[in-house]
């Protein structure tokens, strides 16, 4: 739903393998089906419609705008077909939006998120610290 004509996101059911074990009768898996129309593959879309090229992006409520080069995010389709997986699109989402379960597995990570927000976060996309998500990604990658 969030993909454009020449983009794809990694399937949450098969994890990008192209295969899934069904409990009913099915045709045996023979490999990923190649789609010649795809240029880039992204991990997921974080609730945004994604595409290739330069996209404008608003940061926070203060109307600050930036541009994200989506051709530098994700991986090329050729790379994906040989097994390279895309990473998170960090300018689009904080770690909590990108991988909430992993954040909860880091000791005190979500408590720090609430503190930075100025209180309990009831809707992640409304966190008051979103414009500093690069700092949150650093904490996430360091496991703090």
The closest of 66, 69, 85, 49 to 133, measured between CA atoms, is: 66
Express each pLDDT in 116-142 by its tens digit. Answer: 988 888 888 888 888 888 999 999 999
CA 116 – CA 112 distance, rounded (Å)? 6
Per residue in 28-73, pLDDT tens?
777 778 999 999 999 876 777 788 899 887 765 556 677 889 999 9
CA 143-107-10 angle, to 5 degrees, is 55
What is the C-alpha to C-alpha distance for residues 131 and 111, in angstroms, rounded to an integer? 18
Contact 57, 68 (CB under 8 A): yes
pLDDT band at 22; cut points 50, 70, 90: low
């Amino acid at each position: 739903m969030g993909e454009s004509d020449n983009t794809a996101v990694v399937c949450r059911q098969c994890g990008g393998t192209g295969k899934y074990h069904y409990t009913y009768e099915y045709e045996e898996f023979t490999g990923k089906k190649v789609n010649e129309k795809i240029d880039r593959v992204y991990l997921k879309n974080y609730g945004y419609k994604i595409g290739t090229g330069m996209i404008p992006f608003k940061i926070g409520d203060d109307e600050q705008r930036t541009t994200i080069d989506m051709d530098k995010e994700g991986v090329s389709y050729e790379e994906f077909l040989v097994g390279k997986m895309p990473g998170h699109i960090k300018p689009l989402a904080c770690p909590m939006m990108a991988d909430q379960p992993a954040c909860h597995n880091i000791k005190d990570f979500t408590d720090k998120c609430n503190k930075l927000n100025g209180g309990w976060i009831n809707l992640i996309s409304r966190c008051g610290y979103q414009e500093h998500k690069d700092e949150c990604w650093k904490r996430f990658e360091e496991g703090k």
